[in-house]
Chain A
Amino acid sequence: MKYSEQDAQAVEQTVANFLARFQPDFDYEPLLLYAALPLVLTAELLHYLRHRFVSGTPWVAEVDILLAGELCHERGYEQYTMHSPIRSYLLQRAKQHPDIRIEDAARLMIQYLHAFARSQPFSTYTDMQMQQWSALAFIKDMQSTVVNEIVHTFDANLELQLDKGEENNPELKRLVALAEQLAPELEAIRKLGCWR
């Protein structure tokens, strides 16, 4: 999704304003960048990310980030998501930042998914599948696999839609949305965008 110049500036400003609240005592930026990686953020996952990668940042930063309405919103019980434009912006910055270990964070996210699959309030199996794909997309070796899986799932759903003549298959919509989100990581997926 292309954002206008104005939008991009607004996003940058929002993030800068947020970070400024805690400066000069604390630099929340690294943690904020890690927080942008998961599709769905829980307090626990953010806690593990902070502890593993930026333990110098005070724990109250986790709360500050999750409760910042300009950055995140609660999308389910105990689940938060970052606003899309903010997330895209932060992901870009994360890639450029020399200290952010994206692949390691992705691995942690997957471990977390697996470890808490049963007790987490993820609503569906597909939900979890999306989370795992989005995490795997950060790992270079896994990217082609993720693309293949998404395309495969997409095709299957498309067939279903054509067979049953269903309009607006929600699965398809979600796959397209996910594909769009992952597009920066997965070049090959761009072709799916035309199925909107």
Chain B
Amino acid sequence: MELETQIQACFLQLRAEGLALGIDELLDALKLAYAIPSDQLPTLLGMLWCKSLDDHMYFKSAWQNTETSPKPDTEPTLPDDLINPQPSNESSELNSSDMLPGEIDKTEPETIGALPLLVPSRAMSADYAEFKNYYPVSRRFMAYTWRYLKREMPDGPLKQIDFDRTVEIITRQGFYLTPAYRRSVIDHAHLVLLLDHGGSMTPFHHYLRDLVETAYFESTLAQVDIYYFHNVPETSLYFDLYFTQRVALTAIIEDLDENTSVLLVSDAGAARHRNDPIRIIVTEDFLNHLRRNTQSIAWLNPMPRDRWSNTSAQEIEQFVAMFPMNEDGLTQALDVLRGL
């Protein structure tokens, strides 16, 4: 059957594009094809196979490509009505997110009159959160990796019932008075993030945000402290991105102990290809201060390693473990912090 062939071909093409589709999704697609009129199939198939705008775009072109009756070769551009404002004849409160205008026969997209700038158009509905980023470290990876820093030790208050021991006691003494407790495990991990912000780090702000948010909200580490500096960490840093709430270095250092991991994030001059001796000296000084209370220090450089030579970064790398900010680099940096 033609439709079956198209579904299979489309399925394979989408998998090649990287959509997460498995055999169940193919079988369900075929099941669907037998249950509904074929003109409704693309829309529903889209709901089954696509989980983002990018997915939908790949789907649309794959579906067209695998059409058995050849259609005029259209350039794979974005659908025209992606920039249409809300159509005027709408009575239902929520417009269907019409991802495949080419397939479903609706009225012609209207010409854009006075553009309602900030009113999202129909097909833009799914766009808001659909812009993925493809930075070298995904957010998800960050969120998972932070957990390696956990330092769990059973030295919490005695408040968890130890069932095995309780049963053992009952069996031995033949009666039961009180349950046996065990100490709850407490995570003592303390992560300190020192982030270079603004200036040459501005193109990396998105990265920094991801780091901060995953460390703060998704790492489940006991204590996470974040401080900002501009270009070079000196005697004071800041609680906030806008450098208004100052905090003295001495205060930060006091807070460090053998459970603390310190991670610095800065291009160290590599982004603008600068080699600045003063910057290097000040940085070395700073690191020595930190080392009074903790040895777990690592440095993440958002520029790739091949861009460090002949910059301050190359020098600074001599006295601190520095890694590029990709998945390997982040893993290795955390290994250093764990003492491995």
Q: Which residues of A contact B (CB under 8 A)?
A: 43-44, 47-48, 51, 59-60, 62-63, 66-67, 74, 78, 101, 103-104, 107-108, 110-112, 114-117, 125, 128-129, 132, 136, 139, 141-142, 145, 149
Contacts and interface: CB of A to CB of B under 8 A. Distances in A.
A60 B307 contact: yes
Contact of A111 (B124, B134, B307): B124
A44 B206 contact: yes
A66 to B, nearest CB: 5
Interface string B108-130: 00011111011011001001111
A116 B127 CA distance: 9
Contacts of A132: 115, 117
Interface string B285-313: 00000000000000000111001000000
B127 A43 contact: no
Interface stretch (B163-171, B196-204, B210-218): B196-204
B303 A63 contact: yes
A166 to B, nearest CB: 25
21 contacts: A43-B204, A51-B134, A60-B303, A60-B307, A63-B203, A63-B204, A63-B303, A66-B202, A67-B271, A101-B77, A104-B78, A110-B82, A112-B131, A114-B118, A115-B124, A125-B117, A132-B117, A139-B83, A142-B112, A145-B113, A149-B115
B108 to A, nearest CB: 13
Given A48-B131, A149-B114, A67 B272 contact: yes
B135 interface: yes
Nearest to B76: A104
Given A43-B206, A44-B133, A63-B271, A107 B115 contact: no
Task: Report whether over half of chain B's contact residues are helix, strand or loop; otherwise say mixed.
Answer: loop
B82 A66 contact: no
A107 B303 contact: no
Nearest to B306: A60
A3 to B, nearest CB: 28
A2 B111 CA distance: 35
A115 B303 contact: no
A180 to B, nearest CB: 21
Among B83, B133, B304, the one with the most A-chain Cβ atoms within 10 Å of its Cβ is B83
Contact of A78 (B82, B128, B130, B205): B205
Given A111-B78, A115-B128, A145-B111, 9 more contacts: A43-B202, A44-B131, A59-B135, A63-B271, A115-B124, A115-B130, A129-B117, A139-B83, A149-B115
Interface size band for B: 35 or more
A108 B127 contact: no
Contacts of A111: 78, 82-83, 124, 127
A142 B115 CA distance: 11
A107 B136 contact: no
A117 B113 CA distance: 20
A107 B82 contact: yes
A43 B205 CA distance: 8
B84 to A, nearest CB: 11
Contacts of A110: 82-83
Contacts of B83: 107, 110-111, 136, 139, 142
Contacts of B136: 59
B202 A114 contact: no
A166 B304 CA distance: 53
A70 B330 CA distance: 33
Contacts of B112: 142, 145
Contacts of A48: 131, 133
A111 B80 CA distance: 12
B82 A67 contact: no
Nearest to A106: B83
A91 to B, nearest CB: 20
Contacts of A114: 118, 120-121, 124, 127
B77 A103 contact: yes
Contacts of A142: 83, 112
Contact of A67 (B129, B135, B203, B304): B203
Given A66-B203, A67-B272, A78-B202, A108 B134 contact: no
A104 B117 CA distance: 19
